[in-house]
Amino acid sequence: MLRYLNLCSRGRGAWLLLALTALALELVALFFQHGMGLKPCVMCIYERCALFGVMAAGVVGAIAPQTPLRWASLAIWIYSAAEGLRLSWEHTMLQLHPNPFVTCDFAARFPAWLPLDKWLPAVFVASGDCAERGWTLLGWSMPQWMIAIFAAYLLVAIVVLVAQIFRPRQRNLFGR
């Protein structure tokens, strides 16, 4: 399996699949926001940014998968998935254990050199309440589903990293 993952990480297809899954999730989020009228909160916006990081990792990996750029892609992927997992966990805790003294910010805080909320307000402006559970599927709220999604992204990224480090030797039937 490690050999297979190592081989897949050296081709564009796997990296494009990673980018496409993240793009699909972003499009679903935008449908929830603009199609269904669910207002994203600040934590939702930050989780969205982490998902864009996973998408960026897929794009960077697809650019030159057989070069050391693959390592940068893995780093971006692991960081984005871990940060998304942390954010969605924190968001879930805000929903499951609401506290009037612990709330999320009113607006997302982006760095001055990357004002995403000014560049793409339809995607990055928050207007919802972090403690509100506006949508559920099978009893799980959106941040709970994002925990599962980011955990899956992180698990796959770690296994792919292990496949890069510990490349199994190819066994030959005749001992060569």
Output phi, psi for 101, to 5 deg.
-95, -15
Catalytic residue among 3, 8, 12, 41: 41
Q: How many CB atoms lie within 10 A of CB 59?
A: 16
Active site residue 130: yes
104 is catalytic: yes
Active site residue 48: yes
14 in Cβ contact with 175 (< 8 Å): no
Q: Of the residues 12, 44, 49, 133, which is catalytic? A: 44
Which position among 86, 104, 167, 169 bears the catalytic label? 104
Is 44 annotated as catalytic? yes
124 exposed, middle or buried (CB, 10 Å; 0-12, 13-18, 19+)? Answer: buried
Residue (of 168, 128, 147, 157) closest to 37 by Cα position: 128
How far apart CA 53 and CA 85 sit, in angstroms, is 12
Give φ, ψ of 137 to 5 degrees: -140, 120
Indicate which residue of 8, 10, 48, 133 is catalytic: 48
Catalytic residue among 12, 86, 130, 167: 130
Half-sphere exposure of 134 toward its Cβ, with a 13 Å CA cutoff? 15
Enumerate the active-site residues. 41, 44, 48, 104, 130
